[in-house]
C-alpha cells in the first residue's frame, strides 16, 4: 500500500493519461484532461480482520479513519472469476486521502477481502495477490453527463483501451467503467477505471455490450435529455457504414461463431490496418454484430447474416444501403427543395436505368430485394 500511495502523490493527470494511452496528445489530450482528473490507484489486500487492515493502513502512512463501504463491483468480479457465491465474500472498499503534486485531493483505493486464517479463501488470495487483477488507475469524470461519458469512452477505445467490465454501486451512487490498457501502455497498471458520480447504467450497458435496439444503439429512455436522444439519432449513419464496411471487408467470412479470432489475424485475413480494424470491431461489438472474448472476436447470429453464403444473407442489402442508396440520400435537402429524387440528382438517371448500365450493381440490387 505504501508504494501505491507514493505513486498517487506524484502523478500529473495529463502526463499519466499520455502514458496510459500512447498516441494521445495535442487537442484530444487537453480535452480529456479537462474532462477527467487522476483520482486514485487501487490495490486489493487480504487482511484476516478489520484490526489487521487498520494496522496495515497506519504502517503505510495512510489514515485509519477512512470509512469502509461494501464493494459491489469487485465482489462480483471476484465471485465470477472463482465461481463463488458473492454472498460468501466480504469485500470492503476504503479510500484514505492523499494529496497530489499541487495539493489536490486524491486517494488510495483499498479493496479489502477478509480472509480469516485457515479459510478456503487463502488460495484465492494468493492467486489474486500474484495476478493483481484489481490493481488499476482511476480517473474521475468532472461533469458526468451522458454525452461527456460517451465521448470519453470513445476516446479510450480509439487509443486501444478495451472495455473490461464495470458496474453501478448503489452504496456510493457511482458508476465505474473498467478498461484493459493498450498493449503498449507505459504504466505498470493493466487496468484503467473511469468513475462517474450518479447512476449511469444506460451508458454502462453500451460499455458492456449488452443487447441493443434495432437501429444499432441502445435506445434512449423517454425521460432522458433531448440532446442525448438527438445524438443517438444523428449517429445512425455510423451504424450503416460500419455494417457496410463489415460486409465489404468480408469480415463474417473470416470469422467463426464458436471460436474467437484474434484481431491481428483478422486484419491479415481481410487486408486491413490492424488498429483501424480493431476500432471497427469494437464498434461492431457494441452493435451486437460480433462479440469479444479472451480468445478474440466471434461472429454473432446478427453478424452471420452479413456472410455472403449464409442462408437469407443480407450482405447485398448492407452494400446497397451503405453504397448508392446511402450516397443518394445525402441529397435529401435537394429532393425536398426541388422534388427531384436524390438518386437522379446524383447519378443523372433513375436507379433502374443506372443499374441496367452496371450488371454487377444490378445483380447486387436484385439480391438485396430477394
Q: Which of 181, 207, 150, 152 has the alpha carbon at shortest distance from 22?
A: 181
Same domain? For 26 and 69 the reply is yes
**Residues spanned by the domain of 289:** 237-369
Same domain? For 111 and 177 the reply is yes
Same domain? For 189 and 255 the reply is no
Across all residues in the chain, what is the average pLDDT?
A: 86
Q: CATH number of the domain at 163, please.
A: 3.10.180.10
364 vs 227, higher pLDDT: 364
Q: Residue 365 pLDDT > 80, yes or no?
A: no
C-alpha cell at 30: 487537453
Same domain? For 204 and 243 the reply is no
Q: Give the global pTM.
A: 0.53
Give the pLDDT of residue 229: 65
Mean pLDDT of 149-170: 87
Give the pLDDT of residue 40: 94
Give the pLDDT of residue 232: 67
Angle at the Cα of 61 from the Cα atoms of 57 and 63, rounded to 5 degrees: 60
Mean pLDDT of 52-70: 89
Q: Does 190 fall in a domain?
A: yes
Q: Residue 219 pLDDT > 70, yes or no?
A: no
C-alpha cell at 137: 488507475
Same domain? For 357 and 302 the reply is yes
Q: Residue 237 pLDDT > 50, yes or no?
A: yes
| Band of pLDDT at residue 211, cut at 50, 70 and 90 | very low
Same domain? For 28 and 90 the reply is yes
- CA–CA separation, 178 and 180 (whole Å): 7
359 vs 258, higher pLDDT: 258
Give the pLDDT of residue 120: 86
Same domain? For 177 and 65 the reply is yes
Give the pLDDT of residue 222: 43
Q: Does 243 fall in a domain?
A: yes
Mean pLDDT of 173-195: 91
Total domains present in the chain: 2
Mean pLDDT of 245-266: 93
C-alpha cell at 43: 490495490
Mean pLDDT of 141-146: 88
Q: Residue 257 pLDDT > 50, yes or no?
A: yes
Same domain? For 140 and 256 the reply is no
295 vs 260, higher pLDDT: 260
Give the pLDDT of residue 31: 87
Mean pLDDT of 61-82: 85
Q: Does 225 fall in a domain?
A: no
Q: Residue 223 pLDDT > 60, yes or no?
A: no
Same domain? For 169 and 27 the reply is yes
Q: Does 232 fall in a domain?
A: no
Give the pLDDT of residue 28: 86
Kindly report which listed range (130-139, 197-206, 226-235) carries the lowest average pLDDT score: 226-235
Mean pLDDT of 135-147: 90
Mean pLDDT of 65-80: 84
Q: Does 199 fall in a domain?
A: yes
109 vs 147, higher pLDDT: 109
Q: Does 84 fall in a domain?
A: yes
Same domain? For 178 and 295 the reply is no
Report the 3 state secondary structure along the chain: CHHHHHHHHHCCHHHHHHHHCCCCCHHHHHHHHHHEEEEEEEEEECCCCHHHHHHHHHHCCCCCCCCCEECHHHHHHHHHHHCCCHHHCCEEEECCEEECCCCCEEEEEEEEECCCCCCCCHHHHHHHHHHCCCCEEEEEECCCCHHHHHHHHHHHHHCCCEEEEEEEECCCCEEEEEEECCCCCCCCCCEEEEEEECCCHHHHHHHHCCCCCCCCCCCCCCCCCHHHHHHHHHCHHHHHHHHHHHHHHCHHHHCCCCCCECHHHHHHHHCCCHHHHHHHHHHHHHHCCEEEECCEEEECHHHHCCCCCCCCCCHHHHHHHCCHHHHHHCCHHHHHHHCCCHHHHHHCCCHHHHHHCCHHHHHHHHHHHC
Query: In this structure, are residues 175 and 200 in contact, taking their beta carbons and an 8 Å threshold?
Result: yes
| Band of pLDDT at residue 252, cut at 50, 70 and 90 | very high
Q: CATH number of the domain at 348, please.
A: 1.10.10.10
Q: Residue 194 pLDDT > 70, yes or no?
A: yes
Q: Does 213 fall in a domain?
A: no
Same domain? For 182 and 297 the reply is no
Q: Residue 245 pLDDT > 70, yes or no?
A: yes
- Distance (Å) of CA 126 to CA 43, 46, 115, 123, 132: 14, 9, 11, 5, 10
Q: Does 68 fall in a domain?
A: yes
Same domain? For 204 and 245 the reply is no
Q: Could you read off the pLDDT of 288-301 as tens digits, one per residue?
A: 888 887 788 999 88
Amino acid at each position: 500500500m505504501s508504494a501505491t500511495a507514493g505513486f498517487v502523490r506524484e502523478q500529473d493527470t495529463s502526463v499519466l493519461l499520455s502514458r496510459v494511452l500512447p498516441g494521445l496528445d495535442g487537442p484530444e489530450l487537453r480535452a480529456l484532461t479537462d474532462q477527467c482528473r487522476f483520482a486514485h490507484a487501487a490495490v486489493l489486500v487480504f487482511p484476516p480482520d478489520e484490526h489487521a487492515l487498520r494496522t496495515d493502513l497506519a504502517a503505510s502512512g495512510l489514515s485509519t479513519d477512512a470509512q469502509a463501504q461494501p464493494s459491489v463491483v469487485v465482489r462480483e468480479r471476484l465471485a465470477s472469476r472463482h465461481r463463488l457465491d458473492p454472498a460468501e465474500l466480504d469485500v470492503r472498499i476504503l479510500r484514505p486521502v492523499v494529496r497530489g503534486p499541487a495539493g489536490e485531493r486524491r486517494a488510495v483505493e483499498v479493496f479489502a477481502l477478509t480472509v480469516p486464517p485457515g479459510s478456503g479463501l487463502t488460495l484465492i488470495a494468493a492467486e489474486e495477490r500474484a495476478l493483481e487483477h484489481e490493481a488499476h488507475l482511476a480517473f474521475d469524470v468532472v461533469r458526468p453527463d451522458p454525452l461527456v461519458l460517451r465521448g470519453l469512452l470513445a476516446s479510450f477505445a480509439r487509443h486501444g483501451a478495451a472495455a473490461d467490465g464495470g458496474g453501478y454501486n448503489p452504496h456510493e451512487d457511482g458508476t465505474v467503467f473498467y478498461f484493459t490498457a493498450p498493449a503498449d501502455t507505459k504504466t505498470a497498471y493493466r487496468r484503467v477505471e473511469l468513475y462517474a458520480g450518479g447512476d449511469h447504467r444506460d451508458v454502462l450497458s453500451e460499455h458492456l455490450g449488452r443487447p441493443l435496439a434495432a437501429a444499432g444503439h441502445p435506445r434512449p429512455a423517454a425521460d432522458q435529455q433531448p440532446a442525448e436522444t438527438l445524438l443517438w439519432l444523428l449517429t445512425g449513419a455510423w451504424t450503416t457504414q460500419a455494417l457496410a464496411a463489415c460486409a465489404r471487408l468480408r469480415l463474417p467470412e473470416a470469422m467463426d461463431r464458436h471460436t474467437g479470432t484474434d484481431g491481428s489475424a483478422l486484419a491479415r485475413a481481410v487486408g486491413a490496418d490492424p488498429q483501424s480494424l480493431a476500432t471497427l470491431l469494437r464498434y461492431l461489438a457494441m452493435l451486437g454484430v460480433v462479440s469479444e472474448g479472451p480468445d478474440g472476436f466471434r461472429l454473432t447470429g446478427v453478424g452471420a447474416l452479413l456472410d455472403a453464403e449464409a442462408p437469407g444473407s443480407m450482405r447485398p442489402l448492407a452494400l446497397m444501403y451503405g453504397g448508392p442508396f446511402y450516397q443518394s440520400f445525402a441529397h435529401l435537402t435537394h429532393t425536398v427543395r426541388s422534388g427531384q429524387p436524390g438518386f437522379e440528382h446524383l447519378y443523372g438517371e433513375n436507379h433502374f436505368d443506372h443499374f441496367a448500365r452496371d450488371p454487377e450493381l444490378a445483380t447486387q440490387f436484385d439480391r438485396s430485394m430477394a
